[in-house]
Structure 1
Amino acid sequence: MSCTQAPPLPTDLDAPPTFQGWYTFDSSSDYCKPVQPSSTSTPRDGRTTQSSTDTKSEPHALTLVTWNVDAFSKFPDDRMAGIISTIRNQTPPPNILFFQEVSRAALGYLFDNAWIRENWYLSEGDFKNWGGYAFATVMLLSKADFSTEEQDTDKICIGPVWRVNYPSRFDRDALCCDVFLPPSATRVRLINVHLDSLALQPSHRPRQLAIVAESLHLAGHGFVAGDFNPILPEDDGLVAANNLVDIWNETHPDEPGFTWGIDGREPFPPGRLDKVAVHGLKGDQIEILHPGALESAGHGLLLRKLDTPLPWSDHSGLKCRLHLAEAPV
């Protein structure tokens, strides 16, 4: 199976895919540049050589951090710095990052951050996917565990990346990619979502998650993660109704798992807005990463103490470790 082959996709006329590219930082130009597709003439097809069989290691785990980073509060670069610092201190380190509500300023911080530049592939190399909107979703894959070269058989091979423009009041989309786990090049689909907000009727969230779920079932293995915005009572059953498994419910059935509104700043009750749901995968751990707060913001002569500490985000993040199930659910 080639990592560059066309992915199996739903045929919904109301949810067309828009393909884009992966990017990596180029130190010679000081810009992100597109990652060239694999040039190998012998794509990985599931067969292993004797040497690779002899050195077979533990199956690759997918360790995700997903976080809605809040596009509208002040000091986006300082707040992103706090979030990235927390991510860097995780053990084991994540190899997949999903961000939602990434503003232009927050994406600019990611472009300028030395750790991101050196260690991550990005789904964005500029602001073209923002259009006229205030924010978008972003996906990053670790260079330590992922590769764009099919001949690099010790790493997870990166496949195509695309956005699904599903029905939305806010022009939201689903950011998707396929990766291929060695040694058999098993396709796993990763989908980053920020489902429609607010308790507006009719709600587009049921249709949005149905489209995402169909895509995961077509791929055979995968997960959807991000801000599900379950505001209405009907939203609570959408994951199960689409034959997906909510990892928090599976591993912490007696805990509320709130990821929003826990500091009492919001006029609404706390909620578990952020989720990880899987098909054909198992989650052996998931935890909540609560945001810290800025006591001061700015840099150099512009550094100033804040009258009230500012949380890095109005959402908490989630860290989740996933691996292949014995068979798709």
Structure 2
Amino acid sequence: MASLSHLQRRIVSWWQDTPLPNESDTSSIFQTWHTFDDSSKRWSQVGGWFTSNDDPNKESSEELHRDLVLVTWNVDATSSSPEKRMSRIISNILSLTPAADVVFLQEVSRAALSYILDDSRVRRHWYSSEADAASWEGQSFACMTLLSKARFGHPRESTPRATLGPVWRVKYPSRFGRDALCCDVLASPSRAGRARTRVRLINVHLDSLPIQPSRRPRQISAVASFIRSAGRGLVAGDFNPVLSEDETLIQDNGLLDAWVELRPQDPGHTWGVDGKQPFPPNRLDKIATLGLQAKDIEVMHPGIITTSESTPAERSDGDGSVPWSDHSGLRCTFEMPA
């Protein structure tokens, strides 16, 4: 049985032209990127040609090798007013300077997903890992990845800029049925004749709660193996480090914690900073790298939907306000390999 599983993984890796590790307790389920098609008014699979919105020649030559900007945010699936909260979070992300190239979202509920996919800015300027909740396998929320059309081109594009690679979900041991949302981007070569450099980007919401035995050590181990098989990349999202053993999982698996590397004296709390949570503040959200140089990182604290903006049914706090999320986001800038 183990030999058969190994053969199946090798076939999938070859068929998808994607290097994958030999991990016996994981499976890779490939999906497709989606782009919004104005003519049909729907999100469609990225095919063999461009739609009018894909702007294949938009990037100028001096922008081809600029730094990569990633934003990751757990957007809170259970609080009230998901559309209003997503509106604030998306607007905040899209107003950043320099602009975000990659957006990782965790705890995206079905209501939040509908809002994101209906947003005209997302429709025009972003590729989406999701067109609906079909890949969520009945889960009430999941991870979602957006890639900027201004930065990433179509896989068949001939102009020299970074392009979309494959996108897939890794099913690994989880008490909550969670997975890792993986994608590769292929960096533009620094000179003619060179092969594109593969960079693997993995969006995670690791298992919650201090349940033992914890699945988080195996989840991080599996994710690190997927990054190593590509040669370089990162994993970002909600790591839920609520046990003492979680504090060393990144370094134990040969990865670098971008926050620790760049701001070792700053606690960098991304949860509980408003003092309204029943547990102490914590750095639940992290970015870990292999073979990528992080240059700058910051916490993006959520704002508040005020009493005047929310209905009585939407108000969750005693003062009638609704935070955008119970998590803060992270923005990190990386040096893109050539």
TM-score when scaled to structure 1? 0.88
Q: Secondary structure in 2 aligned to 1:211? A: helix
Shift in Å at residue 131 of structure 1? 2.5
More strand by share: 1
1:252-280, Cα deviation, whole Å (9 max, x unpaired): 00010000001011100000000010000
Q: CA deviation at 1:250?
A: 0.3
- 2:67 maps to amino acid: A
Matches within 5 A, 1:62-81: 62-81=68-87
Alignment match, 2:320: 308
Q: Which residue of 27, 37, 42 maps to 1:26?
A: 37
Q: CA deviation at 1:218?
A: 1.0
Letter in 1 for 2:292: L
In 2: Cα distance, 1:60 partner to 1:6 partner: 26
Q: Confirm or deny: 8 A CA contact 2:180 2:204 kept in the other structure.
A: yes
Aligned to 1:148: 154
Aligned to 2:226: 215
* TM-score normalised by structure 2 residue count: 0.86
* Equivalent in the alignment of 1:173: 179
**1:79/1:56 CA distance change after superposition, 3 Å:** closer
The C-alpha deviation readout for 1:227-258, integer Å capped at 9, x for no partner, is 00000000000000111000000000001000
Q: 1:165 to 1:297 in 2, by over 3 A?
A: farther
1:252 aligns with 2:280: no
One-letter amino acid of the structure 2 residue matched with residue 7 of structure 1: T
Distance 1:325 1:24 in 2: 26
Distance in 2 between the 1:296 and 1:315 partners?
20
Tell me the SS of whatever aligns to 2:306: strand
2:127 paired residue number = 121
1:1-329 equivalences in 2 (<5 Å): 6-37=17-48, 59-183=65-189, 184=194, 185-296=196-307, 306=315, 308-324=320-336
CA contact (8 A) 1:129 1:136 kept: no
Contact persistence 1:75–1:298 (CA under 8 A): no
Deviations 1:196-231 (A, max 9, x none): 000000000000000000111110110000000000
Identity %: 51
Give the Å deviation of 1:325: 6.5
Superposed CA deviations along residues 73-104 of structure 1, whole A, max 9, x for unmatched, are 00100000010111122110101000000000
Classify the secondary structure of the residue corresponding to 1:208.
helix
Q: State the one-letter code of the partner of 1:236.
A: E
Unaligned runs of 5+ in 2: 1-14, 51-60
Distance 1:263-1:150 versus aligned 2 partners, 3 A rule: same
Aligned residues: 306
Superposed CA RMSD:
2.1
Is the contact between residue 78 and residue 297 of structure 1 (CA under 8 Å) also seen in structure 2?
no
2:187/2:336 contact within 8 Å kept? no
Structure 1 regions of 5+ residues with no counterpart?
40-54
Q: Tell me the CA shift for residue 9 of structure 1.
A: 0.6
Q: Distance in 2 between matches of 1:105 and 1:280?
A: 36
CA contact (8 A) 1:176 1:189 kept: yes
Separation in structure 1 between the aligned mates of residue 172 and residue 207 of structure 2, nearest angstrom: 11
After superposition, the Cα gap between the structure-2 partners of 1:304 and 1:193, relative to the gap in structure 1 and judged at 3 Å, is: closer
CA offsets per residue over residues 121-168 of structure 1, 9 Å max, x none? 000011112222210000000000001143343321101100000000
Is 1:146–1:157's contact at 8 Å kept on the other side of the alignment?
yes
Letter in 2 for 1:35: V
Q: Take 2:309 and 2:313, find their aligned partners in 1: how far apart are those partners?
A: 6
Is the partner of 2:320 in helix, strand or coil? strand
| 8 Å Cα contact 1:8-1:218 kept in structure 2 | yes
